[in-house]
Structure 1
């Protein structure tokens, strides 16, 4: 692929990748991104113009909330015309959640937004941060006919670029921390950097990018387990102002079939709360009606999450709840792929 120079904006939100170890004390401290090139001289070998910016107060990814999502989107929105691609440095713990919701907040995206991070700080001798950062910048800078080749939100970690809203963090210790079991990688890094172009989303460059900055967090995730009792579930589903529930079910979407359980879900739906059925498995899909244990869910109006991840379901629900859609329209749209998040 012919090299073309791209303008890349590197955005630091917080997280392990932005820390360096003090050689004397051994403690971790925030990395000064104004000194990025001097600390990572390998970046000078890249044929791209790299600019950096950061959250005013970088945060641990566990503290991410709707306002942080909006702040990140506004940084990208305000710089969208000036740059060919964006690389977001983010803590790995909630990276899939943030990257997923960002994918819904940008409609008609025509440039790459690539999330990356690391398991070890950038100043650690054995760090995975440098490879993740360098390759993410390379991927964000790829062009064809003067246009970015990747035109979606991705997540790069340990030699693989995934569609962000297909990912889940599966390991807290290994460098291979993320997986996308229901969709193949968009790119793989080895001796050569291979982009799997047939897996990429195709954007219409004639359409203007639309940025959605209204989200709702009146959401609850309920993980079903054998023996879940009625009083506990009644308390959860009866929370005031609750508008959406992501129900993590067994296998291909199966739950209890007790009358009290089904009646409680039905009452909740009749109250105007949207319930999404997603599988607890990290791979596979919900198929309501395949077994008798999910047939009743289908009958009472539970929405099929198909093969969506919990992380993407949260982002999609935050995005759609803010639209104040009627129940039938909400169901139809949720069960439709908007950003490649489900098959």
Structure 2
């Protein structure tokens, strides 16, 4: 029998409306009563870690979830985390970086409609998540509407529909239908299990280090005044700039590129990504991109912002040395970014 631990964190999947709008109400025990995990040959144990709307998710909560998994890593074959959809992609990415030494599947799922709703997708999503959690794979995944998505590549693109999540700039890891999992063979090796050495096993608890929360995401728009960079310099340790297109930042009347240069001189960590959902940033294409101090900033390539935020927090939590932070963020983890020549299409 395969042993699975469900860690419940709240979200729509356990919501109820008592007149003030939907809020988390039901327990993990209520959820399990509606399931039949024994039909999947799974011995399932449920544990409530928190019961929150995922809009209230925090980096400290990521650490709490990660520590729960590390502490139970020897006792279970896989883990399922029930989670609200709104910040699920951030959490799945964060757990990917925090749990790199956990050689088991960690699966996040949730629902667009509460388990008590007649049109709920909760039971099917949880069923599929439990199925994947018993597989002989390793990594963090989102399972939703029959899709298995790399935990660092998921983005919520719809607010109400069942197919709320997409895998952006990366193939689906697998599809689940009628209790069967069909893997995408070109990426399956990325999630193969690697036998951990005794040294790595003994150091698992050290994997979950602190996260640097003092960062900002800045989305550029026409007319953004350069004085925002003074505010960033005085209040934050790092900033992720969502540029235009392949990496465009204004250089003329509102010289934001020049202010980025000044920002890095003042010791602020700067990462550049794009507002576009697909195909990533390439700062070498246009003159406005080449004017950035490329050796002094972090280059996100085709990472999405939902992954870049926790990865920068994780890297800055490990070291204050810019070169080390840059190396940590720009080095692929579970294919969260693709370097030229490593394409799975």
For the pair 1:224 / 2:207, whether they are aligned, the reply is: no
- Match for residue 90 of structure 1? 83
Taking the aligned partners of 1:225 and 1:180, their CA distance within structure 2 comes to: 26
Q: Does structure 2 retain, via aligned residues, the 8 Å contact 1:109–1:203?
A: no
TM-score for the superposition, normalised by structure 2: 0.89
- Match for residue 343 of structure 2? none
For the pair 1:188 / 2:175, whether they are aligned, the reply is: yes
**1:120 corresponds to which of 113, 119, 131:** 113
For the pair 1:320 / 2:308, whether they are aligned, the reply is: no
Taking the aligned partners of 1:95 and 1:27, their CA distance within structure 2 comes to: 18
- Match for residue 232 of structure 2? 237
Q: What's the offset of the Cα at 1:272?
A: 1.4
- Match for residue 16 of structure 1? 12
State the number of aligned residues: 328
**1:247 corresponds to which of 234, 238, 241:** 241
Change (3 A) 1:236 1:168: farther
- List gaps (5 residues or longer) in structure 2: 339-345
Taking the aligned partners of 1:138 and 1:8, their CA distance within structure 2 comes to: 10
Q: What's the offset of the Cα at 1:243?
A: 1.4
Taking the aligned partners of 2:106 and 2:100, their CA distance within structure 1 comes to: 13
Deviations 1:93-123 (A, max 9, x none): 0001111111101123310010000100011
Q: Does structure 1 retain, via aligned residues, the 8 Å contact 2:245–2:275?
A: yes
Taking the aligned partners of 2:24 and 2:56, their CA distance within structure 1 comes to: 18
For the pair 1:204 / 2:204, whether they are aligned, the reply is: no
Q: What's the offset of the Cα at 1:84?
A: 0.4
Q: What's the offset of the Cα at 1:193?
A: 2.3
Taking the aligned partners of 2:325 and 2:73, their CA distance within structure 1 comes to: 30
- List gaps (5 residues or longer) in structure 1: 143-148
TM-score for the superposition, normalised by structure 1: 0.89
Taking the aligned partners of 1:294 and 1:14, their CA distance within structure 2 comes to: 42
Helix, strand or coil for the counterpart of 1:13?
Answer: strand
Q: What's the offset of the Cα at 1:45?
A: 1.5
Taking the aligned partners of 1:243 and 1:28, their CA distance within structure 2 comes to: 34
Change (3 A) 1:257 1:11: same
Change (3 A) 1:102 1:291: same
For the pair 1:213 / 2:209, whether they are aligned, the reply is: yes
Taking the aligned partners of 1:313 and 1:327, their CA distance within structure 2 comes to: 16
Change (3 A) 1:26 1:229: closer
Taking the aligned partners of 2:11 and 2:128, their CA distance within structure 1 comes to: 18
For the pair 1:165 / 2:147, whether they are aligned, the reply is: no
Change (3 A) 1:68 1:320: same
Q: What's the offset of the Cα at 1:26?
A: 11
**1:310 corresponds to which of 300, 305, 316:** 305
Change (3 A) 1:299 1:45: closer
Q: What's the offset of the Cα at 1:339?
A: 3.1
Taking the aligned partners of 1:290 and 1:332, their CA distance within structure 2 comes to: 22
Q: What's the offset of the Cα at 1:66?
A: 1.9
Helix, strand or coil for the counterpart of 2:75?
Answer: coil
**2:270 corresponds to which of 266, 275, 279:** 275
Taking the aligned partners of 1:130 and 1:220, their CA distance within structure 2 comes to: 36
- Match for residue 336 of structure 1? 331
Deviations 1:272-294 (A, max 9, x none): 11111111111111111111120
